[in-house]
DNA sequence: TCTGGGGTCCTAGGACCC
DNA sequence: TCTGGGGTCCTAGGACCC
């Protein structure tokens, strides 16, 4: 038996928890460059704002309907998430934090009054953290996801599902006819794991509802689609195929990518951006005690705009693997130079760290003995420490040396024709005190 | 005309998730 | 003018090997 606890409209609810004046208002939270919508309050949804809708299309609603747009504050959301998750953990013995606003709880077999307990946990989260939640309970993860959707939709779209399932929905407490009714009311594309493409392909074959999908022979699901869909079908049939992951598996890649406010067509600003991405990725890497064996850098033009397209990536191997920002930046810049072509209006670029490994294998320790500076140098530790203490980006590695950003925002960059602290690939960096 | 078969590894691309 | 960011898994196809 599984539970899925999910915060409603998590980012906007988090903002509303802190600014009461926003409650009951149409509010959205915008993505990084204030580019598009990533969370909407119920009132904003009622105005017709779509998920992912670009902000420039919302101007009329902002001007005439009082729509409030907020830039994302991920620190706040992360903090509220931690509080919410620790309360959600009270529902059962096993927890998987699935995303910033969702948590699976497992090991619920045999627990009495499960529905009541779910109500109590839900109420506590709302009261103590200020985030309204819904809870779905079912024999598989996929069904608990479905029940969570039922609990949400029953509340906000009256008539979509029976009102008795508002906020908390327990599959086990339904009779077979009710379960079938729920499946029949749910489009196949709303099932966890069935995206846009596959739901279109399913529709072509006459599979429109979750009930159709649940009745589909697993062999067809596997041969015509993939093992992924087969698993979904089995889960809908009540056979648990996806288990709870208590400890998150180690990361396989770490990315830092951004869309630009304005297109970039020359190498210099692009180099600066990519250096910054590599630095950020390096911070994440070190914070998890990992090192990277390769770094990928990419840049491309906007898929939304007419004109010539450009999209290229390059992978640079790192031998030995490293978590040193100076080497990461050097490799990223090298990769960038290899793919760059002038004359394209580039809208996005990024860096991905690949072939991640724990920083403490025996091999690494042996290497570290021979190459005392190649990793975990006192310098990188100091940089991380300063940035934690004085704020992100206080000290960073520029594409051509160290930069310092002072508290007033004035950027002092060391202008050097011959960089002093940057490293070329496969060179051991030399740290000068 | 017909041109082995089976295995591994790697990469690119597709699809999905929040 | 302005369209997110960060992940995972699966599959197909090519290269290579015996």
User: pLDDT of A84-100, one tens digit each?
Assistant: 999 999 999 999 999 99
How far apart, in whole angstroms, are the C-alpha atoms of residue A82 and residue A365? 34
pLDDT of residue A368: 56
Answer whether residue A423 shows pLDDT above 60. Answer: no
> What was the pLDDT predicted at A42?
95
Give the CA-to-C1' distance from A227 to B7 in angstroms: 22
A20 CB-near residues (< 8 Å, 6+ apart): none
A342 pLDDT higher than 70: yes
Strands A395-398 and A357-358: unpaired
d(CA A40, CA A113): 33
d(CA A266, CA A336) in angstroms, rounded, equals: 12
Residue A327 to residues A252, A360, A381: CA-CA distances in angstroms?
Answer: 20, 19, 15
CA of A351 and C1' of C5: distance in angstroms? 12
Q: Which two tokens stand for residue A382?
A: 């100091």
Nucleotide nearest to A257 (CA to C1'): C5
Report CA-CA distances (Å) from A84 to A121, A137, A336.
Answer: 10, 18, 41
The Cα–Cα gap between A14 and A403 comes to 35
Distance A226 CA to C11 C1' (A): 9
Element (H, E) at A285: helix A267-287
With beta carbons less than 8 A apart as the criterion, state whether A106 and A92 touch: yes
Consecutive H or E run containing A44: helix A42-46
Q: A275, A329 in Cβ contact below 8 A?
A: yes
Going from N- to C-terminal start, the domains of chain A cover 2-174, 180-236, 254-413
Query: Whole-angstrom Cα distance, residue A67 to residue A46?
Result: 11
Closest protein residue to C8 (Cα–C1'):
A252
The proportion of chain A whose per-residue pLDDT surpasses 90, expressed as a percent, equals 68
Please check whether residue A218 is in contact with residue A230, taking contact to mean a CB–CB distance below 8 angstroms. yes
Does domain A254-413 match CATH 3.90.180.10?
Answer: no
Tell how strand A395-398 and strand A401-405 pair up: antiparallel
Give the C-alpha distances (Å, rounded to integers) separating A147 from A115, A162, A172.
12, 12, 10
What's the sign of the alpha-carbon dihedral A324, A326, A329, A333? Answer: negative
Residue A296: nearest nucleotide (C-alpha to C1'): B11
Phi, psi of A331 (to 5 degrees): -70, -40
Say whether pLDDT at A389 is over 90: no
Q: Give strand pairing partners of A134.
A: A6
Euclidean distance between CA atoms A24 and A101, whole angstroms: 21
d(CA A219, CA A275): 49
A183-202: b (≥16 Cβ within 10 Å) or e: bebbebbebbbbeeebbeeb
Nearest nucleotide (C1') to alpha carbon of A315: B11
pLDDT of residue A400: 52
CB A158 within 8 A of CB A164: no
Residues 6+ apart with CB under 8 A from A50: A37
Same fold, A180-236 and A254-413: no
* CA distances for A17 relative to A40, A79, A138, angstroms: 14, 12, 30
The answer to whether strand B lies under 7 Å from the CB of residue A199 is yes
Residue A145: pLDDT band (50, 70, 90) is very high
User: Would you say the C-beta of A226 is within 7 Å of strand B?
Assistant: no
Q: How far is CA A186 from CA A45, A59, A115, A124, A359, in A?
A: 20, 33, 22, 30, 47
Protein fold of A180-236: DNA polymerase; domain 1 (1.10.150)
Average pLDDT score, chain A: 86
**Measured CA to C1', what is the nucleotide nearest A32?**
C4
Please give the pLDDT value at position A383.
74
The protein residue nearest C5 (Cα–C1') is A257
Highest mean pLDDT pick, A113-117, A311-315, A325-329, A428-432: A113-117
In the 42-101 stretch of chain A, whose C-beta falls under 7 Å of nucleic acid strand B?
Answer: 98-101
CA dist., res. A251 & res. A323, Å (int): 14
Residue A398 has pLDDT above 80, yes or no: no
pLDDT at A421: 24
| Confidence band of A295 (pLDDT split at 50, 70, 90) | very high
Residue A404 clears pLDDT 70, i.e. is over it: no
pLDDT in tens, A247-281: 888 899 999 999 988 899 999 999 999 999 999 99
Give the CA-to-C1' distance from A345 to C15 in angstroms: 36
The CATH class for the domain spanning A2-174 reads alpha beta
Nucleotide nearest to A222 (CA to C1'): C10
A317 CA to C18 C1', in Å? 29
Q: What is the pLDDT of residues A178-214, one digit of tens each?
A: 999 999 999 999 999 999 999 999 999 999 999 999 9
Chain length of chain A? 433
- Please report which helix (H) or strand (E) contains residue A384, including its range: helix A378-390
Q: How far is the CA of A31 from the C1' of C1 (A)?
A: 18
Report chain C positions within 7 A of protein CB atoms.
1-11
Tokens for A345, please give them: 């209006």
Distance in angstroms: CA A383, C1' C9: 35
Percent residues over pLDDT 70 in chain A? 86
pLDDT digit string, tens, across residues A2-60: 999 999 999 999 999 989 899 999 999 998 878 899 999 999 999 999 999 999 999 99
Q: What is the pLDDT of residue A414?
A: 25
């Amino acid at each position: 038996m599984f539970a899925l606890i999910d915060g409603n409209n998590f980012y906007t609810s988090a903002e509303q928890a802190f600014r009461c004046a926003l409650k009951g208002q149409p509010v959205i939270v915008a993505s990084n460059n204030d580019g598009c919508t990533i969370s909407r309050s119920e009132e904003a949804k009622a105005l017709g704002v779509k998920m992912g809708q670009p902000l420039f299309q919302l101007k009329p609603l902002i001007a005439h309907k009082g729509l409030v747009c907020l830039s994302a504050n991920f620190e706040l959301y992360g903090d509220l998430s931690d509080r919410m998750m620790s309360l959600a953990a009270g529902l059962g013995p096993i927890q998987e934090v699935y995303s910033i606003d969702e948590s699976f709880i497992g090991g619920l077999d045999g627990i009495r009054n499960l529905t009541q307990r779910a109500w109590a946990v839900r109420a506590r989260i709302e009261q103590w953290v200020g985030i309204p939640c819904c809870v779905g309970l079912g024999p598989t993860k996929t069904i608990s996801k479905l029940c969570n959707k039922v609990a949400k939709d029953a509340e906000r779209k009256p008539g979509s599902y029976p009102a008795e399932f508002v906020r908390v929905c327990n599959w086990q407490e339904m009779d077979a006819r009710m379960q079938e009714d729920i499946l029949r009311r749910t489009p196949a594309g709303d099932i966890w794991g069935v995206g846009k493409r596959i739901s279109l392909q399913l529709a072509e074959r006459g599979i429109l509802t979750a009930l159709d999908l649940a009745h589909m022979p697993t062999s067809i699901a596997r041969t015509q689609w993939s093992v992924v869909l087969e698993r979904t079908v089995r889960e809908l049939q009540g056979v648990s195929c996806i288990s709870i992951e208590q400890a998150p598996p180690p990361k396989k890649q770490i990315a830092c990518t951004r869309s630009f406010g304005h297109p970039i067509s020359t190498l210099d600003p692009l180099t600066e951006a990519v250096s910054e991405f590599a630095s950020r990725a390096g911070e994440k890497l070190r914070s998890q005690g990992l090192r990277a064996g390769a770094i990928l850098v990419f840049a491309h033009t906007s898929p939304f705009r007419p004109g010539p397209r450009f999209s290229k990536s390059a992978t640079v191997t790192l031998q030995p693997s490293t978590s040193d920002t100076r080497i990461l930046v050097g490799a990223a810049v090298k990769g960038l130079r290899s793919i760059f072509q002038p004359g394209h209006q580039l809208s996005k670029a990024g860096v991905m760290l690949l072939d991640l490994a724990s920083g403490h294998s025996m091999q690494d320790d042996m290497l570290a003995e021979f190459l005392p500076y190649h990793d975990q140098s006192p310098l990188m530790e100091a940089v991380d420490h300063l940035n934690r203490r004085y704020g992100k980006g206080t000290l960073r590695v520029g594409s051509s040396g160290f930069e310092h950003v002072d508290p007033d925002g004035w950027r002092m960059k060391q202008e050097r024709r011959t960089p002093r602290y940057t490293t070329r690939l496969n060179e051991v960096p030399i740290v000068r005190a």
